[in-house]
Structure 1
Amino acid sequence: MPKLKLSLCSYRSQALLTALIGWLTFSGHSLASEIEHHQFFSPTLGYDYPYSVYLPDHYDAQATDAYPVIYMLHGSFGTDRDWVSRGNLQQVADRLISAGHIPPAVYIMPGSRSWWVDGYNEPARSAFFNDLMPHVEATYRVGQERRLRGVAGLSAGGYGALNFALERPDLFAAVAALSPASYSPQPPRNSSAHRHPAFLDEQGRFDPDLWESLNYTAHLEEYRLRVTPRGVGQEAETPPVPLYISAGRSDVYDAEFHARLMRQAMERIQPNDVRLDLYPGGHTWHVWRASLPAALNFLFQYVGQENSVETTEKSAEEQSTEEVSG
């Protein structure tokens, strides 16, 4: 009898273990993706540039085909670890890859002391383009062409991601801005922009002129000229960068209002390449975690595609529709 009890106990333990492994596999929580934290010396900054990286399951540094790469920017006073520790990026990416919704890709999560601008405290924009991107492309097996790159960010990172895409549409196939702090014409009084060293002059006062010169509105006209065909039958200098926007309906910084303004401004330039999703909630990780799967699915409709222009035309109707998620 004791042997029978031991056998039953052993059987149950094995069954539970098998069930657990099966659940993990079915749920898409891959145990093989990796998160690494690194830094390298940035000549532009004059000090070490930190970044975190997500490497997909079976990442192969010698792969024949380069991996798509998505640059994920954190918010005001954030760090390179936020997207992993608070945004569930690893779990979401694992699940979407396992389900076949998005391809295996590398995610680079840089750290910045600025709002991703060349502000008063550091030249974050220049360091991103001149130091980080070349370092990433020399270190990892990622694409070095437009169709294999995307950029995304939340809050101040959304501000930066949109600016990067507008300023350099030749570099990115798509952009996602979650609750972007791209307030126009000026940030609300409760915004951290008013106390962030990126926008504080030598006297410690917020510089409204600097804000306006760096905000997305300052890039719109030049961007329009680059992505708009000059005549019938002619192609634009660069294809437009499809834009995903999300915002919480109860955002204390009125992000929904500013997101709608952004959508209107961008739709005048690229009417079929803008999507806005609205979520219950405020300017919080609850909203950003909720909108991350939709943002990644949107990005990979363009990133990694052989011809992003054809892809844009194919999905034009669905991308122009506002979706309200609950």
Structure 2
Amino acid sequence: LDGNVITGVSAPSAGGQVRDHAVLDMVFSPPAPGHYVVEVRTQFPAGTDDPSTTTRIRKALATSGATSTTVTYDLNVTPPDAFAPLFLRDAEGTYWAVSGGSRRAIPDEATMRLLSTPAHVTLPASPDFLGILPVGERIPPLSEGAVIRGTGTALNYRITAGERVWISESDVDGTTVRIVDVETVQSIPLALRDHLLVRTSSAPDVYHVDGMALRKVPDWKWVTDHRLRPADTHTVAEWLIPLLPQGAPEWRMPASAWQDRTFFSRTLGRTMPYRVSLPRGYASGSAVRYPVIYLLHGLSGRYDEWNGYGIDEVASGLVHDGKLGGVILVAPQGGLGYWMDQDGVGATPWATYVARDLVQHIDDTYRTVATPAGRAIGGLSMGGHGAVQIALNFPDVFTIAGAHSPSIRSRESAPAFFGSGGAFERRDPISLAKSVDVTKQQFWIDAGQDDSWRSGAEALRDALLERGRSVEFHTFDGGHDGWYWGDHLWEYLPFYAGAFARNGVTLPR
């Protein structure tokens, strides 16, 4: 494999440090359905001190005297339950849906629109590439109003406004029911309505639709106890689940529903995704407005990182305990650029994208408290650096900022896009804290006792206090990792609620 190895690729490692990595430049096609055992063997020189090798592995090698490790993966590959979110277009203009390791022709534009979702991309494909993919059965044409049923299943659907709407046998009312292969049916977005049961064919999780959001159920007993029929469970493509609104599991008091959305950023010149949580009761149609907390991800994360640390369940618990009222949570997508308006040719203006484009879009789209007093911005690691930097550079937008394990970089360790001299100071939170004359903002800073970035967090605290700003600082047990960030969500979120209250903004209950 030596000819496929590319060395010197910079990428984030554990703890947020950027290191050079070796990358295997190969594309693996999906194997045929079946059971596989894969062994990955890694050979190490005796007494290795390679920094890319984890401390745990180095200690194990030193103790045992071994010179290699073996990791065994036991895999079950199942047939595809739906088409991939990808269309291919050949030179003749025919469109193809990708089904596992094969392709199926799409008969017409109406069918293609029905199979499309916001996640889909369409790519031109060369004859050589298409030749690798065997041709499967042509997809049957589908049109508005048609009633369909998957082969070997019992549930009927009517195609309505680009979705499949579940209808009962009595609603069929003599209409001809077309039998369509299950893969095609499950690729059509399902119209949600309360009390539906939803699952994928490849995962054990089952969801109950409540308040137009998916809420995971603990087991089938919960389903029957709530007088729902397991036979009426609707199967969707696994990749469709993240596109649907997400609520807290049924064993937690619901606080909100999470939805993945996109908007066009004029500053970046492209469409950007974000995840938004609307508080329970938002859809009631009232005129109530809600403050907003913007949550920035870390260097190796993306816009769904906060969900991975359990923010949905923690928010649910805090609402239930009366420690957090109704707020809108927004988690945008950034890059590796520290959420700043970068310095240099071709630099990306991440801060302006958040403070101007995203905030304007959220205020225009949702019922927000559209004032600086009703906006907070927080982030973890790189996002903590970004949250404070953006708040200080845009005090007309944010009056509250939270820095959770902020990775504050010195001039010597900062990437080139931080700039030098005065350019660096306009992007460095510590320098900004010493120079920007704003005293009405509220800040939270925390860091783990074992966090290698803790000294920077303490320096940021001292700089803010010197200028008379309101700062709440905490040192907790732990390091610079997901366990730490998840464990302390219970402290972070009530800070934002209290800061809104001190700004005179009431959180709806």
Is TM (by shorter chain) over 0.5?
Answer: yes
SS at match of 1:108: strand
SS at match of 1:109: strand
1:101-126 Cα distance to aligned partner (Å, 9 max, x none): 01111100000112111115411111
**Structure-2 change in CA distance of 1:307 and 1:29 (3 Å):** closer
State which structure, 1 or 2, has the greater radius of gyration over its C-alpha atoms: 2
Q: How far did 1:211 drift? A: 4.1
Q: How far did 1:155 drift? A: 0.7
Gaps in structure 2 of 5+ consecutive residues: 1-220, 227-248
Of 215, 218, 240, the residue aligned with 2:428 is: 215
1:264 corresponds to 2:487: no
Distance (whole Å) between structure 1 residues aligned to residue 412 and residue 257 of structure 2: 40
1:277 corresponds to 2:474: yes
Distance (whole Å) between structure 2 residues aligned to residue 137 and residue 100 of structure 1: 26
Who is 2:152 aligned against?
none
Who is 2:442 aligned against?
242
Conserved 8 A contact 1:153-1:177: yes
Who is 2:438 aligned against?
226
1:297 corresponds to 2:497: no
Distance (whole Å) between structure 2 residues aligned to residue 221 and residue 122 of structure 1: 25
SS at match of 1:125: helix
Of 262, 279, 288, the residue aligned with 1:56 is: 279
Letter in 1 for 2:265: S
Q: How far did 1:185 drift? A: 4.5
SS at match of 2:272: strand
Q: How far did 1:175 drift? A: 1.3
**Structure-2 change in CA distance of 1:45 and 1:62 (3 Å):** same
Gaps in structure 1 of 5+ consecutive residues: 1-12, 19-23, 188-192, 201-205, 228-238, 309-326
Letter in 2 for 1:247: A
Of 38, 41, 47, the residue aligned with 2:264 is: 41
Who is 1:312 aligned against?
none
Conserved 8 A contact 2:294-2:330: yes
Distance (whole Å) between structure 1 residues aligned to residue 412 and residue 326 of structure 2: 39
Distance (whole Å) between structure 2 residues aligned to residue 36 and residue 174 of structure 1: 24
Q: How far did 1:218 drift? A: 3.2
TM-score (norm 1): 0.72
Who is 1:158 aligned against?
384
Q: How far did 1:280 drift? A: 1.9
Conserved 8 A contact 2:304-2:331: yes
Who is 1:102 aligned against?
324
Identify, as 1 or 2, the structure richer in strand.
2
Who is 1:149 aligned against?
375
Who is 1:317 aligned against?
none
Q: How far did 1:63 drift? A: 2.9
SS at match of 1:116: coil
Distance (whole Å) between structure 2 residues aligned to residue 59 and residue 159 of structure 1: 31
Conserved 8 A contact 2:295-2:377: yes
Distance (whole Å) between structure 1 residues aligned to residue 360 and residue 283 of structure 2: 19
Percent identity among equivalent residues? 28
SS at match of 1:301: helix
Q: How far did 1:258 drift? A: 1.2
Conserved 8 A contact 2:380-2:404: yes
Conserved 8 A contact 1:250-1:282: yes
Q: How far did 1:305 drift? A: 4.7
Conserved 8 A contact 1:147-1:305: no
Conserved 8 A contact 1:186-1:212: no
Distance (whole Å) between structure 1 residues aligned to residue 457 and residue 503 of structure 2: 30
1:206-262 Cα distance to aligned partner (Å, 9 max, x none): 855554441113322442x332xxxxxxxxxxx2x11111111112xx222111111
SS at match of 2:261: strand
Conserved 8 A contact 2:447-2:476: yes
CA RMSD of aligned residues (A): 2.6
Identify, as 1 or 2, the structure richer in helix.
1
Who is 1:320 aligned against?
none
Q: How far did 1:78 drift? A: 2.0
